Amino acid sequence: MIQIPRGTQDILPGESYKWQIIEDQLREIATNYNYHELRTPIFEATELFERGVGGSTDIVNKEMYTFEDKGGRSMTLRPEGTAPIARSYIENKMQHDVNQPIKVFYKEPMFRYERRQKGRYRQFVQFGVEAIGAENPLIDVEVLSMLMHIYQSFGLKNLKLYINSIGDHDSRKAYNDALVEHFKPRIDEFCSDCQNRIDTNPMRILDCKKDRDHELIQNAPVIYNFLNDESKAYFETVKEKLTEIGIDYEVDYNLVRGLDYYTHTAFELMSNAEGFGAITTLCGGGRYNGLLELLDGPKETGIGFGMSIERLLLALEAEGIKLDKPKGIDLYVCTLDDQSFNKAGTLLHELRTKGISADMDYKQRKLKAQMKDADRKRAQYVIVLGEQEFESGRVELKNMENGETQNVQIDELVKYLED
């Protein structure tokens, strides 16, 4: 039997309503903050991610679904949304738009060849927002407040926001130099990934899952001490404004994020709900001031976040929050014989085109089984069609909630249900 690829999932009809509720709510909140949808292709030139996300990252090194197209170009299934949005900003010359920053959201499947684990998929749906074209701590705060608003709007309580500043380019460089000096003499005590990171991206050593208890990580230099005055002032304003609007956060100086483009504000939202599983990150993001230039674009800066719907669902489950099931169909039509079965299709057609959701049993089972089916489909009303009903032109319309019946003319069913 052919099986679904590892790390992917079918979202079955009985479950898809949860996705629809979440997606609608995300869209509504983003629109309230005046962010609008930008859709980019599912695949992009591999170089976009190599340059944008960074050659030293796990995403680019280990996780990309890369293929050669029939024209011999290297393409990659999108592993994240920021680099494509930056590409689109540049390509569509959005820097000339009078509305700056350009505020967009996306909700798209992303692909990463990761080891299968709870909350970690090879195809997942990431919702993200990006505000590109203005640099001001207030925009960072806007993005963070939207992020908290989203999770709180679903009733989640066990949330913990961690923030850090990676500083500007100069601060980042000074810090990286200090880390190399700190780790280099004893780098052979670290995993092979960290031994590579010392040359390519030393900050990522702080984030290593394998070596996190090593004493050199515990007593590593702290980034805050390497931030220049400007970067410190930026970070202080972000923190002040967050406090002003009542957003709780904790500063985590080891939070460096797994992608190379970050500068200044970086953040992650974690769930501390019991039973959430090992991967507790719900959402991550930050400011990326050099990304557009790195992609040969204008000197514009941006900030955003990405979150998967899969992990949001896990958080809801861990906190016992249920999403409302959609209402069932308006009407279920039971049929007693071939004649009524054949005529029921016409009636259904008429009802549906008038906007009434209706269904029937195409297997022509016994009445009892049809009634059960109506129950399963959570029909609000049921009618039974037989010879007698067609002769009289009237049916008993049964309200399934209170059991009451009403004798209605078949011709007037639509009008009655519409009312």
> Judged by CB under 6 A, how many residues of this single chain contact ligand HAM?
26
Among 54, 167, 286, 297, binds ligand HAM (CB under 6 A): 286
Residue sitting closest to ligand HAM (CB):
304
Q: Please tell me whether residue 276 binds ligand HAM under the rule CB under 6 A.
A: no
Among 88, 308, 340, 370, binds ligand HAM (CB under 6 A): 308
Nearest-approach distance from CB 320 to ligand HAM, in angstroms: 20
- The closest of 126, 145, 88, 135 to 290, measured between CA atoms, is 135
Nearest-approach distance from CB 253 to ligand HAM, in angstroms: 18
Interacting span for ligand HAM (CB under 6 A) from 38-46, 240-248, 280-288, 336-344: 280-288
Compare residues 198 and 315 and give the one whose CB is closer to ligand HAM.
315
Among 196, 228, 281, 357, binds ligand HAM (CB under 6 A): 281
Among 276, 305, 332, 381, binds ligand HAM (CB under 6 A): 305
Compare residues 35 and 332 and give the one whose CB is closer to ligand HAM.
35
Among 108, 113, 120, 350, binds ligand HAM (CB under 6 A): 120
Compare residues 51 and 398 and give the one whose CB is closer to ligand HAM.
51
Compare residues 149 and 352 and give the one whose CB is closer to ligand HAM.
149
User: What distance in Å separates the CA atoms of residue 125 and residue 107, rounded to the nearest whole number?
Assistant: 7
Cis bond before residue 101 (omega within 30° of 0): yes
Q: Please tell me whether residue 263 binds ligand HAM under the rule CB under 6 A.
A: no
Among 50, 58, 130, 373, binds ligand HAM (CB under 6 A): 130
Q: Please tell me whether residue 160 binds ligand HAM under the rule CB under 6 A.
A: no
Compare residues 321 and 410 and give the one whose CB is closer to ligand HAM.
321
User: What distance in Å separates the CA atoms of residue 176 and residue 166, rounded to the nearest whole number?
Assistant: 10
Among 35, 89, 121, 381, binds ligand HAM (CB under 6 A): 121
Compare residues 283 and 384 and give the one whose CB is closer to ligand HAM.
283
With vertex at residue 317, the alpha carbon angle to CA 315 and CA 323, rounded to the nearest 5 degrees, is 105
Q: Please tell me whether residue 277 binds ligand HAM under the rule CB under 6 A.
A: no
Q: Please tell me whether residue 317 binds ligand HAM under the rule CB under 6 A.
A: no
Nearest-approach distance from CB 302 to ligand HAM, in angstroms: 7
Question: Is residue 149 within 8 Å of 208, Cβ to Cβ?
Answer: no
Q: Please tell me whether residue 84 binds ligand HAM under the rule CB under 6 A.
A: no
Secondary structure string (H, E, C) spanning the chain: CCCCCCCCCCCCCCCHHHHHHHHHHHHHHHHHCCCEECCCCCEEEHHHHHHHCCCCCHHHHHHCEEEECCCCCEEEECCCCHHHHHHHHHHCCHHHCCCCCEEEEEEEEEECCCCCECCECCEEEEEEEEEECCCCHHHHHHHHHHHHHHHHHCCCCCEEEEEEECCCHHHHHHHHHHHHHHHHHHHHHCCHHHHHHHHHCHHHHHHCCCCCCCHHHHCCCCHHHHCCHHHHHHHHHHHHHHHHCCCCCEECCCCCCCCCCCEEEEEEEEECCCCCCCCCEEEEEEEECCHHHHCCCCCCCEEEEEEEHHHHHHHHHHCCCCCCCCCCCCEEEEECCHHHHHHHHHHHHHHHHCCCCEEECCCCCCHHHHHHHHHHCCCCEEEEECHHHHHHCEEEEEECCCCCEEEEEHHHHHHHHHC
Among 284, 316, 359, 379, binds ligand HAM (CB under 6 A): 284
Q: Please tell me whether residue 133 binds ligand HAM under the rule CB under 6 A.
A: no
Q: Please tell me whether residue 81 binds ligand HAM under the rule CB under 6 A.
A: yes
Q: Please tell me whether residue 58 binds ligand HAM under the rule CB under 6 A.
A: no
Beta bridge partners of 358: 331
Among 124, 183, 190, 226, binds ligand HAM (CB under 6 A): 124
User: What distance in Å separates the CA atoms of residue 206 and residue 194, rounded to the nearest whole number?
Assistant: 9
Nearest-approach distance from CB 287 to ligand HAM, in angstroms: 8
Compare residues 110 and 220 and give the one whose CB is closer to ligand HAM.
110
CA–chain centroid gap for 31, Å, is 15
Q: Please tell me whether residue 76 binds ligand HAM under the rule CB under 6 A.
A: no
Q: Please tell me whether residue 306 binds ligand HAM under the rule CB under 6 A.
A: yes
Site of interaction with ligand HAM (CB under 6 A)? 80-82, 112, 114, 120-121, 124, 126, 128, 130, 258-259, 281-286, 304-308, 310-311
